[in-house]
Amino acid sequence: MEGWIERHAEAIAARAPRELEALVAVSSPSGDVHGAEEAAAVVAALAPEEAIPERVPCSSPVHAPDLLLRLRGRGTTRVLLLGHVDTVVAAGEHRALVREGDRLVGSGAVDMKGGDVLALGVLRALAGRLDDLAEAALLLVCDEEWRVDPFVHAERFAGWDACLCFEAGQLVGDDEAVVVKRKAAGTVEVHAEGLSAHSGSAPDKGANALLALARAADAIASCHEPEGAQRLSAVPTILRAGDAFNVVPDRGELIADVRADASAAFDDVIAAVPAEVGGARLETRLVRLWPGMDSRAHTAPLLERVSALLGRRVVGGARGGASDASHIASSIPLTIDGLGPRGGGAHAAHEYVLASSLRPRAEIALAVADAVLSA
């Protein structure tokens, strides 16, 4: 292993638990401006002194600005490091970091403040290689977990040489893996308009929005075919209808999560929902769309160089979850995701990072950066 990788991996792994503790201590659910500002302040304090901080408009309105840390160099290569500081955990349910054996347990630990910590370490390492860089930037957004508007940052970095995204790492068999393929992801929303009536004295004079949405949920679920040609998953997740126990519900909404290799598969899900059920009208639309990502062809030669640098195999894998890397991949073909630490329980109370994964995952991220600079 090259000395630059080994030296900085050791430094990153030594600092990572304390830095993760500081970042997880901040409750920063999507849309919480104060939490995002506090998280940005922690990150800026941990950044290399050579980095120039900027606050850039977030893709989502009524959010804090995103944080951009930039290193200006004297070389020719431009590398983007990418992450997010927002979580899905509400402030009242937030858990500070605690150690349970090999697990560093806390809200947002693996999704993705652990990755942010490794990205900061890589940025510090790159600060010592300004002769090789034209520019390195770390972009941390504060709306990744629930964004419905278009991602505004892709054009800013169009034409850069590489994007390294630090969502959680994984294994493929016994091999350490990064993510080079992701499904397209979407959110389907169904609105129902029915007619209210007394559920005891005149139930058949109403048009039941709840029953119509139940039929819509069943229609969406019938499209679920994860082993099919498009690997489509279609999962109803939220149903809201009714205000009183003795009134026929006259309105409501259904939310479903859909994922597939290509977003065109979502058209079939929308088409499966009837326009009317029992007199209640249904309006179905796609309110959130994240593109798929497939950078296997562009990243395969680089991963071979990474494996040679480390003396062990690092492979490209796939993941169903969405990531901002999918938005960037259309502008930067050499996009590699899943460079964060390994862990589990994302979005759950027991979310954790494996402390033992910090050093090997730092080595992988540094080897990827080194291979990009040496290409």
Phi-psi region of 41 (alpha: psi -120 to 50; beta: other; left: phi over 0): alpha
> Distance between CA atoms of 354 and 344, rounded to whole angstroms?
8
> Distance between CA atoms of 78 and 138, rounded to whole angstroms?
11
Question: Tell me: the pLDDT tens digits for 80-129?
Answer: 999 999 999 999 999 999 999 999 999 999 999 999 999 999 999 999 99
Where among 289, 315, 340 does a domain terminate? 289
Q: Mean per-residue pLDDT for 331-343? A: 98
CATH number for the domain spanning 311: value is 3.40.630.10
Letter for the amino acid at 369?
A
Place of tokens 């589990």: 344
CATH number for the domain spanning 281: value is 3.30.70.360
- Per 3-state DSSP, the chain is made up of helix, strand and coil in percentages (nearest 5) of 35, 30, 35
State residue 106's pLDDT score: 98
Residues 175 and 209 in one domain: no
Give Cα 312 to chain centroid, integer Å: 27
Residues 74 and 209 in one domain: no
Strands 162-165 and 335-336: parallel
> Distance between CA atoms of 79 and 60, rounded to whole angstroms?
24
DSSP 220-273: HHTT-BTTSTT-BEEEEEEEEE-SSTTB---EEEEEEEEEESSGGGHHHHHHHS
Residues 359 and 263 in one domain: no
Alpha helices in 82-163 (DSSP H): 114-126
Residues 171 and 120 in one domain: yes
Q: Mean per-residue pLDDT for 269-280? A: 98
> Distance between CA atoms of 123 and 120, rounded to whole angstroms?
5
pLDDT at 338 over 90: yes
Decide: helix, strand or coil at residue 326.
helix
State residue 375's pLDDT score: 86
pLDDT at 315 over 80: yes
State residue 356's pLDDT score: 98
Residues 161 and 199 in one domain: no
Where among 289, 304, 326 does a domain terminate? 289
Residues 278 and 307 in one domain: no
Residue 78 pairs with which residues in a beta bridge?
135
State residue 2's pLDDT score: 82
> Distance between CA atoms of 274 and 219, rounded to whole angstroms?
8
Residues 118 and 8 in one domain: yes
Residue 67 pairs with which residues in a beta bridge?
55, 140
Question: Tell me: the pLDDT tens digits for 345-361?
Answer: 999 999 999 999 999 99
> Distance between CA atoms of 60 and 357, rounded to whole angstroms?
33
Question: Tell me: the pLDDT tens digits for 212-238?
Answer: 999 999 999 999 999 999 999 999 999
Residues 88 and 205 in one domain: no
Strands 66-72 and 52-56: antiparallel
Run of H or E residues at 283? strand 280-290
Residues 196 and 240 in one domain: yes
What is the residue range of 273's domain?
184-289
Residues 40 and 134 in one domain: yes
Question: Tell me: the pLDDT tens digits for 139-191?
Answer: 999 999 989 999 999 999 999 999 999 999 999 999 999 999 999 999 999 99
State residue 331's pLDDT score: 95
Number of domains in the chain: 2
Where among 248, 269, 289 does a domain terminate? 289
Residues 281 and 350 in one domain: no
Residues 169 and 199 in one domain: no
Q: Mean per-residue pLDDT for 28-49? A: 97
Q: Which residues contact 301 (CB under 8 A, 6 or more apart)?
A: none
Residue 34 pairs with which residues in a beta bridge?
none
pLDDT at 1 over 70: no
